[in-house]
A = this chain, B = another copy of it.
Amino acid sequence: MDRSPGSTPYRPLLSSASRPLTVTIPAVNESGETVPTPIAGEHPLTLYVDKREIVTLMTLGAAPEALAIGWLRNQRLVGSLEEIVSVQVDWDVEAVAVVTREGLRDADERLATRTVTTGCGQGTVFGSLMEEVDSVRLPADRRLSEATLYALMEAVRHHESIYKQAGAVHGCALASERGEILMFVEDVGRHNAVDAIAGQMWLDDLAGHDKIFYTTGRLTSEMVIKTAQMGIPFLVSRSGLTQMGWEIARRIGLTMIGRAQGRHYLLFTGEERFTR
């Protein structure tokens, strides 16, 4: 689809069907008192594309339309937002129906193999994502300063969150190179949060090359792959790193920082983009 600069980004027809994010249940504490306790919502959402059942995601339900789009994007089943005609969520039947212009790319081949990854939540990479990651080119000329890193960590700390109320969710943020939070998504599945951000980036017509990706979750292979696929050169986490996350980040030249809390952090890979 051709678009002149500054024109309104293309939007599929979207429902707007988020769920209540917490419910409050009675729990009994160590003093024998019954305490009202907020817990995170968790709902099955079955994704149908052109009436074909693809997968059931367990989700908090905060941003189901962006999640469906981002899931298809990160699985490389659609190549651009323009391929999607509509995304309609109906919680009564726990389903999201996606209609595409010309069907999914290589659907049979991609859906035939499964990799269950270490991701919290949407821990499944279909097809050959691992091989594709080698084709990713991240920009060499972007820079992240320590001051910006601290500004981002401070912004995350002050962000209102389901986690503070109910725990049991992971959060992801997309931030500008100045450390401002542009989007913040939480989900019971960490990878749902990543995918919802990938979907919303398409909806808002945002590129990745000048952004920072933040996650509360661990830096596993799948998290690194998805960040790279979104074209984002910086990945920051409060948590630690796995061996394969490290190996892939090195191979593709991602700047990856973990254990970022307070005034502490560890720079794992991509030192050349980081300035002190």
Which residues in A have some Cβ–Cβ distance to B below 8 Å?
23, 25, 27-30, 32, 35, 37, 39-44, 53, 55-59, 113-124, 146, 166-168, 187-190, 192, 218-222, 239-246, 258-259, 263-268, 271, 276
Is A29 touching B218 in the complex (CB atoms < 8 A)? no
Q: A119 to B120, Cβ gap below 8 A?
A: yes
Number of copies of this protein chain within its complex: 2
A265 to B190, CA, bound (A): 25
In the complex formed, the residue of B with least CB distance to A35 is B266
Q: How distant is the Cα of A240 from the Cα of B38 in the complex, in angstroms?
A: 10
Chain B residues whose CB sits within 8 angstroms of the CB of A190 once the complex forms: 120
Report yes or no: B219 in contact with A168, Cβ–Cβ below 8 A. Answer: yes
**Whole-angstrom distance from the CB of A179 to the nearest CB of chain B?**
16
Q: Which residue of B lies closest to A166 (CB)?
A: B240
Q: Determine which residue in A116, A122, A192 has the highest number of CB atoms from chain B within 10 A of its CB, and name it.
A: A116
CA distance A29 to B29 in the complex (A): 40
**Interfacial chain B residues near A115, Cβ < 8 Å:** 44, 55-56, 58
Which 3 A-B residue pairings sit nearest by Cβ, starting from the closest?
A: A167-B240, A123-B123, A168-B240
A120/B120 in contact, CB under 8 A: yes
Residues of B within 8 A of A114 (CB): 55-56, 114, 124
Residues of B within 8 A of A58 (CB): 115-118, 220-222, 244
Q: Are B243 and A23 in contact (CB under 8 A)?
A: yes
Given contacts A28-B267, A29-B267, A167-B259, 13 further A-B contacts (CB under 8 A): A29-B265, A35-B266, A39-B240, A39-B243, A42-B242, A58-B220, A59-B118, A118-B188, A118-B189, A119-B120, A120-B123, A123-B124, A123-B189
In the assembled complex, how far is the CB of residue A104 from the closest CB belonging to chain B, in whole angstroms? 15
Interchain CA distance A41-B167 in the complex, whole Å: 27
| CA of A181 to CA of B25, assembled, Å | 30
Contact B27–A266 (Cβ < 8 Å)? yes
In the complex, chain B residues whose CB is within 8 Å of the CB of A117? 58, 121, 189
Contact of A123 among B121, B264, B276 (CB under 8 A): B121
Closest to A245 in B: B42
Whether the Cβ atoms of A239 and B25 lie closer than 8 Å is: no
Which of B41, B146, B241 is within 8 Å of A242, CB to CB? B41
A-B contacts, 13 listed (Cβ < 8 Å): A28-B267, A39-B240, A41-B243, A55-B116, A56-B113, A56-B116, A59-B118, A118-B188, A118-B192, A119-B120, A121-B123, A188-B220, A188-B242
